[in-house]
Structure formats: C-alpha cells, structure tokens
C-alpha cells in the first residue's frame, strides 16, 4: 500500500531500551494546501482510547483480510476495497435489514466517498439509528441524522481540544496542525468550528451534568461516561497546579477589595442629593447580556421579555446589531432564540394571543404537546422537559415544511 506503512519502530526517548512501534500515513488530496502530502505517524493509544486507536484497528483489519479472505495484499492496493450496491433506501426505514445484503466488493479499486458515507450510516443505524435501544442523549440527538466523513474531522478536533481526559488533550497548535489549518486561520473560524456547538449545548447538557440521572446520557461528551477516567496527575504537576490556583484566588481577592473600595467611594451619602437622571438615560448606558437559558421556555421569555435581575435590560427581539455585538452572545444562540421565540409567538397568535410577552404556562404546555405529538416518539408524556432547546430547534424547520397553511391554523391541524 503506497500511502500506508506499518511495522515501523523507534527507541523510546525516555528509555532507549524500549522500542515504540508505529505506522505512517501520507495524506494526499487535502482541501487545504498547507496539509497536502503531509506525513502523519500513528501510534497505539491508551486503553481508554481504544475505540479511536487507528493503528490497532488498521492492523486488525489487514490481518483479518489476510487470514479470512482470498485476497493477498500488494503495494498498489487500497486499504479498503470499493463497495457498491449499498441500499440507501433500507437505511431510511425501520427494516431489520442492514442495507449491505447485496453489497459488491472490488479489491484494487478506490472506495468512493459516497460509498464510505453510506457504510458509515449503516453502522450508526445498526447501533442506534432508530433510537430504540439507548435512552437519553443518543436517542434525542442521533435520530434522523445523516453522518458524513466530516464527522470524524470535526469531532476529532473537538475531542482532542476539550473532551479527552485532561492529560490526553492537545494544545490548539497541535489541533491546527493535524486538522491542516494554516497558521493565519482566523480566530472566528476556529471558535465556530471548535467551540460554537459546545456553547449551544450548554443549557441542556453542561448545566445538567450533576443531575442524578446523568447515567442516561451515556455518550454525551459533556456529562459523565459512567466509567472512571484516567485523570491521574503526577504529584509535581498537581502541586504546580495548586500553586497557580492559589495565585489566581489571591488576585481575585485583590480585585474584590478594589471593587468594594470603589463602591464605598461612589455610594452617595444620606445628605447628598445627586443630580436626577432619567430612566431613559440609565437604560441607554446599560448593556444587556443574553442570560443562560435553562430550557426552551426560558429562552422564549428572554427573547420577548426584559429581566433586569438577569442583566437583560431589553428583550432580545429589540436588540440592535450593535447591542448584539456588545452583549458577546454567540450568533448561533441568538438565531436559536429568534427561531423558538417567533415560533411560539406564531403558535400563541393562532390562539388569539397577540402579545408574546403575556403568553402563559398553559399555552406553552399546549405548544410542547403539539411537538411531542407529531415529532417525538413518546407522545404520552406531558412534561415540558421532554423538549430540549436543540431538539426543538431541529424540529421547528421540519415542522414548517409540513404545515398545511399558515392562514388555516396549521398548528391546530398538525403537519401532513
């Protein structure tokens, strides 16, 4: 095989008497010119990362082909054969068939990208494509999703930057090198690629990671996996970390003292009457922030109603472009807030409620019941918690495509 070399080894830099086996892969055809022709060394990973140990799985596959088939490897071979006749129709049904019953295998030919994607979705569907065997995160997030090869690129980058065990995480520079990004890639692109979805998941995943039912969220990268992770840190590293944390704590205390001093200086005395200022002037000087939303209902309220106790001095629906920038809110979160806010408002309007700011709990319950009835498998539950922000944001565009007619109260009739 031209681009893959296995059976390589080198002495360990820590102990020259120990030999480290590895493989090498030359990657060509990258869409980023900087990574074209780059050679990557692949090593065996720790036991907890066995599912993504490329060297282990590649070696196992080559051995399997050698022992179980009539094919004999040659230098011109591709690692995987070309596949055809994978049934995409079966993948869209609840049939017990896998879609690979009539597959045709052709050694020595390149597997097409579409064949790989179809094969990937065969595997995912067989795991839990229909959401029947695994509860929680996977059931909510994997239903009706078509995976592509880009899944591995983006998920791999996010895993190495944030979700791996602390001692297994990579620096941003390492992630950029392996992903093939240029050194001058814009910060906005990197943040959107690596962090945007994490921020979007904050309300219904990160905020709930201490819940007693977290074991039902197995597979969610932002909750516990149910297994003890290898987070052992050397004593020297732990001591250094504690010292740094202590310095940070001392710095924060100094800042708090300065803030207290400023408050005492700026606080007016009883005998002093400051010049009156109008409420309008106060509001102009205040910058609203998008508060964390615990669920979709809370996100609807912050879109239509102000709440000064949460530093929301103006409802999100009234924010100008300048105010959106000053708030620091991610564009994706603002888009989701607008999507849910307008959809609930339209639902309420069809029930004679013209002002979204006065929508009551009963109307929200009816709204949730509508989506549970037509878009969730478990329609018997009446809890608002069934709908998460992300699932609702995914259902709304789908529902709009199926509505009979907005002028004929489409919500009341349900999607076709």
Identify the pLDDT of residue 383.
Answer: 43
* Tens digit of each residue's pLDDT (9 = 90 or more) over 373-409: 888 754 444 444 467 888 888 888 888 877 644 444 4
Helix, coil or strand: residue 295: coil
pLDDT at residue 43 tops 90: yes
> Kind and range of the H or E element at 331?
helix 331-349
Identify the pLDDT of residue 267.
Answer: 52
d(CA 199, CA 359): 27
Cβ–Cβ under 8 Å, residues 202 and 292:
yes
Identify the pLDDT of residue 231.
Answer: 44
Cβ–Cβ under 8 Å, residues 319 and 308:
no
Identify the pLDDT of residue 294.
Answer: 81
User: 92-101, 114-123, 140-149, 344-353 — which is least confidently predicted?
Assistant: 140-149
In the block, which residue shows the tokens 């549970």? 372
Q: Which residues contact 302 (CB under 8 A, 6 or more apart)?
A: 290, 291, 293, 310, 312, 315, 316, 337
Identify the pLDDT of residue 406.
Answer: 46
Measured in whole angstroms, the distance separating CA 356 from the mean position of its chain's CA atoms is 30
Residue 47 CB neighbours (<10 A):
8
Identify the pLDDT of residue 47.
Answer: 92
Identify the pLDDT of residue 345.
Answer: 92
Identify the pLDDT of residue 263.
Answer: 61
> Could you state, in order of their start, the residue ranges of all structural domains in the chain?
1-79, 81-129+142-148, 234-264, 286-413
> Kind and range of the H or E element at 124?
helix 113-128
pLDDT at residue 6 tops 80: yes
Identify the pLDDT of residue 248.
Answer: 72
User: 85-99, 314-328, 358-372 — which is least confidently predicted?
Assistant: 85-99
pLDDT confidence bin for 15, thresholds 50/70/90: confident
Find the Cα–Cα–Cα–Cα dihedral 124, 126, 129, 134, rounded to 10°: -100
pLDDT confidence bin for 227, thresholds 50/70/90: very low
* Tens digit of each residue's pLDDT (9 = 90 or more) over 23-37: 998 877 666 666 667
* Tens digit of each residue's pLDDT (9 = 90 or more) over 105-153: 998 888 988 899 888 888 877 765 555 555 544 555 666 678 888 888 8
Identify the pLDDT of residue 22.
Answer: 93
Identify the pLDDT of residue 324.
Answer: 86
Write down the mean pLDDT value for the chain.
76
Cβ–Cβ under 8 Å, residues 347 and 297:
no
User: 19-33, 63-77, 305-319 — which is least confidently predicted?
Assistant: 19-33
Identify the pLDDT of residue 204.
Answer: 59
Of the chain, the percentage scoring pLDDT greater than 70 comes to 67
pLDDT at residue 342 tops 90: yes
* Tens digit of each residue's pLDDT (9 = 90 or more) over 265-302: 555 544 444 444 444 445 445 677 888 888 889 889 99
Q: Region 353-372: what's the mean pLDDT? A: 89
pLDDT confidence bin for 45, thresholds 50/70/90: very high
* Tens digit of each residue's pLDDT (9 = 90 or more) over 168-224: 999 888 888 888 887 777 777 777 777 766 555 555 566 666 777 665 544 444 444
Identify the pLDDT of residue 317.
Answer: 93
Q: Which ranges of 223-316 does DSSP label H, i.e. alpha helix?
A: 235-266, 279-285, 296-304
d(CA 156, CA 159): 5
Helix, coil or strand: residue 60: helix
């Amino acid at each position: 095989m031209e681009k893959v070399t296995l059976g390589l080894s080198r002495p360990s830099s820590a102990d020259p008497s120990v030999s480290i086996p590895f493989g090498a892969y030359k990657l060509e055809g990258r869409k980023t010119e900087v990574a074209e022709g780059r050679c990557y060394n692949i090593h065996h990973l720790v036991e907890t990362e066995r599912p993504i140990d490329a060297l282990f799985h590649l070696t196992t596959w080559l051995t399997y082909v050698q022992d179980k088939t009539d094919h004999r490897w040659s230098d011109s071979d591709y690692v995987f054969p070309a596949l055809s006749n994978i049934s995409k129709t079966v993948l869209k049904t609840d049939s017990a068939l896998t879609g690979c019953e009539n597959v045709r295998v052709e050694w020595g030919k390149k597997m097409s990208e579409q064949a790989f994607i179809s094969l990937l979705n065969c595997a995912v569907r067989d795991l839990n494509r229909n959401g029947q065997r695994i509860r929680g995160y996977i059931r909510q997030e994997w239903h009706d999703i078509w995976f592509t090869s880009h899944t591995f690129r983006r998920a791999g980058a996010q895993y190495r930057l944030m979700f791996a065990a602390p001692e297994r995480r990579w620096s941003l520079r390492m992630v950029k090198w392996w992903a093939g990004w240029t050194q001058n890639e814009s910060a906005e692109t990197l943040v959107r690629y690596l962090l945007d979805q994490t921020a979007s998941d904050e309300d219904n995943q990160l905020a709930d990671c201490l819940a007693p039912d977290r074991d039902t969220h197995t597979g969610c990268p932002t909750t516990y996996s149910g297994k003890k992770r290898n987070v052992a840190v050397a004593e020297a590293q732990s001591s250094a970390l504690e010292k740094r944390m202590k310095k940070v704590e001392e710095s924060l205390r100094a800042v708090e003292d300065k803030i207290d001093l400023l408050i005492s200086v700026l606080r007016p005395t009883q005998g002093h009457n400051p010049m009156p200022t109008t409420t309008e002037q106060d509001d102009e000087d205040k910058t609203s922030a998008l508060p964390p939303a615990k669920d979709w209902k809370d996100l609807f309220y912050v879109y239509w109603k102000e709440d000064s106790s949460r530093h929301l001095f103006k409802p999100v629906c009234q924010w100008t472009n300048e105010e959106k920038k000053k708030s620091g809110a991610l564009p994706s979160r603002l888009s989701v807030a607008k999507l849910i806010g307008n959809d609930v408002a339209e639902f309420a309007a069809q029930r004679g409620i013209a002002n979204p700011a006065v929508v009551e709990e009963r109307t929200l319950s009816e709204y949730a019941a509508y989506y549970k009835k037509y878009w969730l498998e478990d329609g018997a539950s009446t809890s608002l918690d069934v709908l998460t922000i992300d699932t609702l944001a995914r259902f709304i565009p789908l529902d709009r495509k199926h509505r009979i007619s907005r002028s004929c109260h489409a919500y009341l009739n349900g999607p076709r």
